[in-house]
A and B are shown apart, each in its own frame.
Chain A
Amino acid sequence: MAYFQRSHFTPWLLLAPQLIIVSVFFFWPAWQAVKQAFYIEDAFGLSQQFAGLSNFIAVLSNPNYYSVIWTTVVFSLSVALGAMSIALFLAVLADRVIKGASTYKTFLIWPYAVAPAVAGVLWLFLFDPSLGLITALLERLGIEWNHNLEGGQALLLVILASVWKQMSYNFVFFLAGLQAIPKSLLEAAAIDGASPMRRFWTIIFPLLSPTSFFLLVMNSIYAFFETFGTIDTVTSGGPGSATTTLVYKIYQDGFVGQNLGTSAAQSVLLMVLVGGLTFIQFRFVERRVQY
């Protein structure tokens, strides 16, 4: 690669805007989060006292925190697996019909552009206890639906809304992955007498594993962070704490409860968790994935 070497000043000028913004709005706050996690601050922010690990101990000794972790795990896994399996199913169909594949893509891609909070509102309306369409259908089947009272139903509703929004993202990637598989491979298998089902499980599915792995990471990140809007509009974390995820709890403790120290400690724990997960996924899981 050839470089522009003579100008020593230009690269810094080019980098300056990004470096300044990143320092002010990323590194400074991240540093503050780490610092706050070790301090106790009074409610008015007037005095700070070094508290060592006591914020972390307060967070980790609270049994409620573990139920929030459990909720986050159940929620994230359901969203990731749900959105990925529906997307894979539709992508396999769209890939095999050839004619019209791009039309279907257009008709399936747009939920990506819907805000998580808006997706939440749409599904909230479908399940509204007094006039929701699905609530009425469920009632005919003898199922009483009220997500304002039933924690499990609230969680299911948030999962549905999140899956609906995320499916299109996965669909785009699965379709691209499928279209990259050489058709001759599938034809050869078909000539050897492999059924469509068998072709899927022995050829297509293994060849898609890099895509699936990547999507698993992206879907987990989506479920961890971006679904905040969905949860806030649909359930506000309730009933009780049935739909409170880790990010939602940081918000609740920090902004609603004004408990800066424990909120910061949770932020730090979450940073470590997300960093660790990303590391483990890329380090160990990726190796076992076939390419």
Chain B
Amino acid sequence: MRYQRLGLNLVSHLLLAAGCGLFFLPVWLAFTASTHSMSDLYTHIAPLWLGDVGLGNYVQLLSEPVSGLNTGMLRLLFNSLVMATGIAVGKIVISVLAAYAIVFFRFPFRRLCFWLIFITLMLPVEVRILPTYEVVANLHMLDSYSGLILPLIASATATFLLRQFYLTIPPELVEAARIDGAGPWRFLKDILLPLSKTNLAALFVIMFIYGWNQYLWPLLITTDADYMTVVVSLKRMLTTGDALVPWQDVTATAILAMGPPILVILLLQRYFVKGLVDAEK
């Protein structure tokens, strides 16, 4: 294109590279710190390059119980994985069904159901945190996976996105399926689900990250460290009272805590970007 200027392009590339670098810097510094011993760390300022311990801190973290928690790091990572997967899969399953009912069926109180579900978009769990805690306590779900997962599924984001997608399905498709004798379940299984594969993948990425990164909710309802998630455990490691913060462990835990969701986003980037942008149109 004629209106592109070579010099400006070069400057753009330089600025972009600098931007990428700056955004990566906090992670890099956390990683380098996690490869030093504690005494090493506290003799200088934060090191820019890798230290002598190598991955030793990680090996130690993963093999020994986390200090002050009585639970292993592997258990914490497993809990995060269960919570994130549970929220992603749970939300997708109930949303696929609910959106299907709302778009493809006509029945009394349909509009009411629609509004009952979509009003939940307005109020995130942080606002109604105390009463939700009480409800979960009454149901004896504190310190359990269902307590971690179910209250966070109670929102309509996924239902809303799927409804938007279902509305774009041409009516002829439903008509053809019915003429061929397909019932509602068969239409869902053989036609609708295969068509929404991309959207489901996108939803999975978004919901998995949402679940993995939850903080306030798991913080409140897990008093038993066996159900604590890795993100929540960070705060415990930081609160040392008068002692020095064991930054080599904290940074290593931070790296472990951000690894899986970053991996998911990078591997499924194509779906994620499409899903995110399409969803909000």
Of the candidates B44, B213, B262, B276, the one having the most CB atoms from chain A within 10 angstroms of its own CB is: B213
Chain A minimum-CB-distance residue to B14: A93
| Residues of B that sit less than 8 Å from A by CB | 1-5, 8-9, 12-13, 15-16, 19-20, 23-24, 26-27, 29-30, 33, 41-42, 44-46, 48, 93-95, 97-98, 100-107, 110, 113, 116-117, 120, 122-124, 126-132, 134-136, 139, 150-151, 153-156, 159, 171, 174-175, 178, 183-185, 187, 209, 212-216, 219-220, 231-232, 234-235, 238, 245, 247, 250-251, 254, 257-258, 261-262, 264-266, 269, 272-273, 276-277, 280
Asked whether, in the complex, the Cβ of B234 is within 8 Å of the Cβ of A30, the reply is no
Asked whether, in the complex, the Cβ of A28 is within 8 Å of the Cβ of B122, the reply is no
Q: Which A-B residue pairs are the 9 nearest by beta carbons?
A: A190-B3, A229-B215, A115-B213, A32-B131, A29-B131, A14-B101, A25-B154, A113-B261, A18-B98
Least CB distance, A19 to chain B, in whole angstroms: 7
Residue A274 contacts which of B127, B261, B262 (CB distance < 8 angstroms)? B127
Contacts of B3 in A (CB 8 A): 186-187, 190-191
Contact flag A118-B93 (CB < 8 Å), given A131-B247, A251-B216: no
Asked whether, in the complex, the Cβ of B128 is within 8 Å of the Cβ of A29, the reply is yes
Asked whether, in the complex, the Cβ of B124 is within 8 Å of the Cβ of A17, the reply is no
Contacts of A125 in B (CB 8 A): 26, 29-30, 33, 46, 247, 250-251
Asked whether, in the complex, the Cβ of A136 is within 8 Å of the Cβ of B101, the reply is no
Contacts of A143 in B (CB 8 A): none
Contacts of A183 in B (CB 8 A): 1
Contact with B along A6-36 (1 / 0, CB 8 A): 0110111011011101101111111111001
State in angstroms the CA–CA spacing of A93 and B20 once bound together. Answer: 12
Asked whether, in the complex, the Cβ of B266 is within 8 Å of the Cβ of A96, the reply is no
Asked whether, in the complex, the Cβ of B130 is within 8 Å of the Cβ of A254, the reply is yes
Contact with B along A94-126 (1 / 0, CB 8 A): 101110100011111111111111100111111
- A142 at interface (Cβ–Cβ under 8 A)? no
Could you tell me the dominant secondary structure of chain B's interface residues? Answer: helix
Asked whether, in the complex, the Cβ of B98 is within 8 Å of the Cβ of A123, the reply is no
Asked whether, in the complex, the Cβ of B258 is within 8 Å of the Cβ of A225, the reply is no
State in angstroms the CA–CA spacing of A25 and B152 once bound together. Answer: 8
5 A-B contact pairs sorted by A residue (CB < 8 Å) = A2-B174, A3-B174, A4-B184, A15-B98, A133-B45
Residue A131 contacts which of B27, B46, B262 (CB distance < 8 angstroms)? B46
Contacts of B266 in A (CB 8 A): 106, 109-110
- A132 at interface (Cβ–Cβ under 8 A)? yes
State in angstroms the CA–CA spacing of A10 and B131 once bound together. Answer: 33
Residue A26 contacts which of B95, B110, B154, B261 (CB distance < 8 angstroms)? B154
Least CB distance, B205 to chain A, in whole angstroms: 9
State in angstroms the CA–CA spacing of A281 and B241 once bound together. Answer: 44
> Interface residues of A, CB < 8 Å — how many?
100
Asked whether, in the complex, the Cβ of B16 is within 8 Å of the Cβ of A172, the reply is no
Asked whether, in the complex, the Cβ of B8 is within 8 Å of the Cβ of A117, the reply is no
State in angstroms the CA–CA spacing of A116 and B151 once bound together. Answer: 20
- A50 at interface (Cβ–Cβ under 8 A)? no
Interface-forming stretch among A59-67, A71-79, A260-268? Answer: A260-268
Asked whether, in the complex, the Cβ of A270 is within 8 Å of the Cβ of B127, the reply is yes
Question: Given A90-B15, A226-B124, 7 more contacts at CB 8 Å?
Answer: A10-B184, A22-B116, A31-B131, A107-B24, A128-B245, A131-B46, A247-B127
List which A184-221 residues lie within 8 A (CB) of chain B: 186-187, 190-191, 196, 214, 218, 221
Asked whether, in the complex, the Cβ of B231 is within 8 Å of the Cβ of A264, the reply is no
Residue B131 contacts which of A36, A116, A131, A173 (CB distance < 8 angstroms)? A36
State in angstroms the CA–CA spacing of A115 and B234 once bound together. Answer: 11
- A167 at interface (Cβ–Cβ under 8 A)? yes
State in angstroms the CA–CA spacing of A123 and B254 once bound together. Answer: 11
Contact flag A28-B135 (CB < 8 Å), given A105-B273, A123-B26, A131-B46: yes
Asked whether, in the complex, the Cβ of A113 is within 8 Å of the Cβ of B257, the reply is no
Contacts of B27 in A (CB 8 A): 122
State in angstroms the CA–CA spacing of A230 and B62 once bound together. Answer: 25
State in angstroms the CA–CA spacing of A175 and B221 once bound together. Answer: 39
Asked whether, in the complex, the Cβ of A118 is within 8 Å of the Cβ of B235, the reply is no
Asked whether, in the complex, the Cβ of B94 is within 8 Å of the Cβ of A21, the reply is yes
Of the candidates B128, B183, B213, B235, the one having the most CB atoms from chain A within 10 angstroms of its own CB is: B128
Chain A minimum-CB-distance residue to B169: A1
Chain A minimum-CB-distance residue to B187: A4
Asked whether, in the complex, the Cβ of B120 is within 8 Å of the Cβ of A26, the reply is yes
- A233 at interface (Cβ–Cβ under 8 A)? yes
